[in-house]
Structure 1
Amino acid sequence: MDLKNAREKLRGSIAPIITPFDEKGEFDQSTFESLINWHIESGSHAISVTGTTGEPSSLTTEEREKVMEAAIKAANGRVPVVPGTGSTNHKETLHLTRLAQEMGADAALVIVPYYNKPSQHALYKHFKTVADSVDIPIIVYNIPGRTAVNMEVKTLARLNEDCPNIIGVKESNKDFEHVNRVLLNCGRDFLLYSGIELLCYPMLAIGGAGSISATANIVPDKVAELHNAWFEGDIKRAQDLHYDLMPLNDVLFKDTNPAPLKAALGMMGKITPKLRMPMELPTEELQSEIRSVLEKYVDLSVKQ
């Protein structure tokens, strides 16, 4: 996908799909393919895999490659595919991003390296090297709550100026002043995506391109509809969906993502609710709360 098309097509609900495991804890490819088909049929505008919700830190590099390839083949050009290719390891990030391009990914989502807490100058060098190594669009993934370092607006603006294929950022950042300044300093055509569920609608209101919201795993149709309503100018409908989704957004983050998601998808009959250690499913008490909230959105008597 060229940069012009990317700016036009990578808008709306980019669903960050979970990585399903079978009872033995191995990648369940057939279930994964079914999830992708369901998302496309439900109206998700694009899909992302091996981002935070896809548990990349629980996967080997070879498994990440397999998930990326399976997603691109299953989507088969019906919607854009944006794999997460970043890690705390620079060489691995380069390898996965180049491989995503070779596989036919439409863009790559590259996380700010976690754990090692690089300086802003080091972040610039890391992302510029990655962007220069490929031709596909790059979306920076800024999630300071997980990485322990925030990409400052001036660093992002510098990358935007120096790297034509860095076209946007997923901001899992609760600092709403920060995200406003992203568009002020990077330009209004820079693609801003919300990674914070309660900010999906507010970010659209300031000129955002869409969201990469974990909640789309549960109700992809509603999350897509919120974006469609906004783009069509039906502000009241978008606001109504924003508030309608809030209880589900809240309960899905009462434990570390994607544990509540996998519990909920298990209740819906979509997956075997399995995580790899050191992650685990929520407590029975929280699972009961998840079920209670989920029943307001999904008919659990009918396996989805």
Structure 2
Amino acid sequence: MTSVGDHLYVAALLPFDRQMKIDEKAYRRFLRHFLDNERFVRMGGGLCINPEAGEIFYLTRQEKRRVLEIAMEEINGKVPVIAGTWAITTDETVETARDCKALGVDGIFVTPPGGAQDVTSCWDADNYPEIWLDQIIAQDRAVDLPIVTHPVGGAKPPFYPGLPLQATLRICNEVKNVVGWKMTYMYDGFMLIANGLRGLDRHVAVMGALASRFHEYKANGTFDGTLSGFWNFALDPMLDHLEAWDRKDIDKAREIWLGGLSQLHSYVADMGRLHIRYKTATWLCGLIPSPFMRAPMPKPQQHEIDTLYRLLKNVGLPVIDIKETRLAA
């Protein structure tokens, strides 16, 4: 049985203008990049609005609501929509979830709380799952919608940087509206979590995040859907790759993967620069007007711009004029 989690969700970026205000026109154009791609829609594409990649941490509640309003107008039922609810307090997180429901989303995308070290870098999720679980339950009671998780908790290997297995299973067992688990893990942790989810008494979608591992996940059958920022800049070659897998054309899938897609994704998948490289690559493809993120997110460095430019060209993706790439760093 499939659910809201079993789709190819894009963790959609958010473009800003020169004053670092939301660029609404650019955002509408960017969303149409996905909505106008008939293959993406046909293959089960979806959009995640206000994810981490969309800089939800640096948006006001009013901005989050406006971003979602724009997205719902453009999407207009064409693909499923889930929306982020993160806020600095639980009360605002719940109110943001209510905003999402009022605007008609198909599900909410929940992220662990921010703030003191007790709930961030020093959180022991296995022994104290209530630090996030209580907040998920509060949202669930408020809106009663399907839930997709963004389980980042700074766990030790093999689960770094995601949530460990015991806490994962506790949350899934206690909150039946959890339908998708974003797989924020390195490979070994991914497999432990995926096998744990497969052992539940109901289906919770295994949703690939790091596209640098999509080839392996397709090969080992742990690929129900995605919630990934890599779609922002590499939509067509990623669809080519997944289509080849779906046709069981393994030779073609390997050709695409080893023909540049793996190298591009591996470079982007630096956990300390991930979102910076998402946005820089998307800008280099001409899909958004600039690569800049709201502070405290830093600007890309020139060596990153140059490397991404080369890797994008190697995959055959269209890129902006080389002269424009010297204006950002």
Superposed pair shares fold, TM > 0.5 = yes
Residue of 264, 267, 278 corresponding to 2:284: 267
User: CA–CA distance in 1 between the matches of 2:192 and 2:102?
Assistant: 34
* CA distance 1:177–1:62, change in 2 (3 Å): same
- Give 1:121 shift: 2.9
Give the aligned residue type for 1:15: V
User: CA–CA distance in 2 between the matches of 1:168 and 1:9?
Assistant: 8
Question: Mapping of 1:96-111 within 5 angstroms?
Answer: 96-111=96-111
User: CA–CA distance in 1 between the matches of 2:319 and 2:213?
Assistant: 28
4+ residue stretches of structure 1 with deviation over 6 A? none
* CA distance 1:221–1:12, change in 2 (3 Å): farther
2:327 alignment counterpart:
none
User: CA–CA distance in 2 between the matches of 1:238 and 1:95?
Assistant: 44
For 1:80-114, what per-residue CA distance to the aligned partner results, in whole angstroms no more than 9, with x for missing partners? Answer: 11111124421122111121111011111101223
For 1:163-184, what per-residue CA distance to the aligned partner results, in whole angstroms no more than 9, with x for missing partners? Answer: 3321121021112343233323
User: CA–CA distance in 2 between the matches of 1:180 and 1:268?
Assistant: 33
Q: Percent identity?
A: 20
Contact 1:10 1:80 in 2 (8 A): no
Contact 1:260 1:281 in 2 (8 A): no
Question: Mapping of 1:138-149 within 5 angstroms?
Answer: 138-145=147-154
Question: Mapping of 1:17-28 within 5 angstroms?
Answer: 17-28=12-23
* CA distance 1:113–1:85, change in 2 (3 Å): same
Give yes or no for the alignment of 1:247 onto 2:256: no
User: CA–CA distance in 2 between the matches of 1:196 and 1:35?
Assistant: 21
User: CA–CA distance in 1 between the matches of 2:154 and 2:249?
Assistant: 33
Question: Mapping of 1:280-299 within 5 angstroms?
Answer: 280-297=298-315, 298-299=317-318
Residue of 277, 288, 297 corresponding to 2:295: 277
- Give 1:126 shift: 2.0
TM-score by length of 2: 0.81
User: CA–CA distance in 2 between the matches of 1:85 and 1:241?
Assistant: 36
Contact 1:13 1:223 in 2 (8 A): no
Number of aligned residue pairs: 298
Question: Mapping of 1:196-235 within 5 angstroms?
Answer: 196-204=210-218, 205-235=220-250
1:166 alignment counterpart:
178
TM-score by length of 1: 0.87
Give the aligned residue type for 1:134: V
**Structure 2: any 5+ residue segments left out of the alignment?**
323-329
For 1:252-281, what per-residue CA distance to the aligned partner results, in whole angstroms no more than 9, with x for missing partners? Answer: 245623222222222222222122111122
- Give 1:187 shift: 4.7
Question: Mapping of 1:94-133 within 5 angstroms?
Answer: 94-115=94-115, 116-117=119-120, 118=123, 119-133=128-142
Contact 2:56 2:86 in 1 (8 A): no
**Structure 1: any 5+ residue segments left out of the alignment?**
none
User: CA–CA distance in 2 between the matches of 1:134 and 1:302?
Assistant: 46
- Give 1:240 shift: 4.0
* CA distance 1:226–1:76, change in 2 (3 Å): same
Give yes or no for the alignment of 1:186 onto 2:204: no
- Give 1:123 shift: 2.4
Give the aligned residue type for 1:13: L
